[in-house]
Amino acid sequence: MSRDADVPTLKTVTRTQGANAALKEGTVRPDGFAFDFEEIPVLVHGFRRMVRNLEFDISEMAFTTYLCAKAHGVRFSALPIFLVRGFHHGAIVHNTRLGIRHPKDLEGRRVGVNRGYTVTTGVWARGILADEYGVDLDSITWVLSGDEHVADYRPPPNVVPVEPGHTLEDLVGSGDLAAAIGVGTGHPDVAPLIPDAGETAFASFQASGFYPINHLVVVRDELLEARPELAGQVMDVFERAKDTYVDRLRAGAIDEPGPDDRRNLRAMEATGGDPLPYGVEPNRAMVEKLMGYAVHQRILDEPMPLDTVFPYSG
């Protein structure tokens, strides 16, 4: 959308968080365009609207939702702006009455996944189960609480919907599901599957160097094709906002830091540098790892070349 032929105003959806707070506050402003932010209380609803209807010009997007959408020809492209990162060892919970002592004990059982099979947290968590604990993912029946944002995607045959009228939380609590990804531990018989998951995740980060990416930024292809300079302008303003946040982290200038801030600060202290690097090259190995998980889990047929994943990053 444009109010001026030379300075377009772009409808944008992104949740307010450390790395983009300066954009939402207006203390960092773009060159060559203006933001028109739309606030969506449940961000995943925005993902669906973007994937299915291209309702926004610029949108935050879950990484594997983007990969799946790109593989199915959705007309948007990602820029290597990695807004959200997190650890996923703690995302897996289990019923403590079922005799599960090790992640491999999930084999042959039913495990819930919050929302769709292609949700990025689920992809990372399943990758952890396979890579770090030797779990045969194909032996598990994955039970979903929602459908996929990419309507044309068809999951593998061991992926099924939850029974109507039930929630994953209730089914894990009752023992009908052995475990679930992305649900809480409010039931007395439900606990994290991986003991001391936070420290285990951090040890994995120190060993691999991967601070897993969850969300990036996409732009409608129509805009990128019409204005070749736009990709660089969007990249620049998001990077300046992120650098402002990282500088504040480094200076201890964030009042009442939340869990994300504390995790980012710990990652900074461990690496000695920017814990949230943007761009393809600093993240190449991690992106390739996530795509490998997506192929193994039958979300993608094959890995996508990085110049297809990020066609406007150069």
108 and 202 inside one domain: yes
| Segments forming the whole domain that contains residue 28 | 9-86+212-309
Predicted confidence at residue 6, as pLDDT, reads 74
Q: Is the pTM of this model over 0.75?
A: yes
Q: Is residue 274 part of a domain?
A: yes
Q: Last residue of a domain, which of 208, 238, 270?
A: 208
204 and 178 inside one domain: yes
Q: Is residue 314 part of a domain?
A: no
**The residue type at 187:** H
Q: Is residue 1 part of a domain?
A: no
29 and 167 inside one domain: no
Q: Is residue 3 part of a domain?
A: no
Strand positions, DSSP E, 162-297: 179-181, 190-192, 213-220
Q: pLDDT tens digits, the chain, 314 residues: what are they?
A: 444 557 899 999 999 999 999 999 999 999 999 999 999 999 999 999 999 999 999 999 999 999 999 999 999 999 999 999 999 999 999 999 999 999 999 999 999 999 999 999 999 999 999 999 999 999 999 999 999 999 999 999 999 999 999 999 999 999 999 999 999 888 999 999 999 999 999 999 999 999 999 999 999 999 999 999 999 999 999 999 999 999 999 999 999 999 999 999 999 999 999 999 999 999 999 999 999 999 999 999 999 999 999 999 87
191 and 114 inside one domain: yes
| Whole-angstrom Cα Rg for the chain | 20
171 and 261 inside one domain: no
Q: Is residue 2 part of a domain?
A: no
96 and 79 inside one domain: no
Q: Is residue 267 part of a domain?
A: yes
Q: Last residue of a domain, which of 179, 208, 237?
A: 208
178 and 278 inside one domain: no
Structural domains in the chain (count): 2
Q: Is residue 220 part of a domain?
A: yes
For residue 223, the SS3 value is: helix
121 and 199 inside one domain: yes
CA angle 86, 89, 95 (to 5 degrees): 135
82 and 101 inside one domain: no
**Are 173 and 187 within 8 A, CB to CB?**
yes
**Are 111 and 180 within 8 A, CB to CB?**
yes
CATH code for the domain in which residue 261 is found: 3.40.190.10
Q: Last residue of a domain, which of 166, 191, 208?
A: 208
104 and 197 inside one domain: yes
CATH code for the domain in which residue 165 is found: 3.40.190
194 and 106 inside one domain: yes
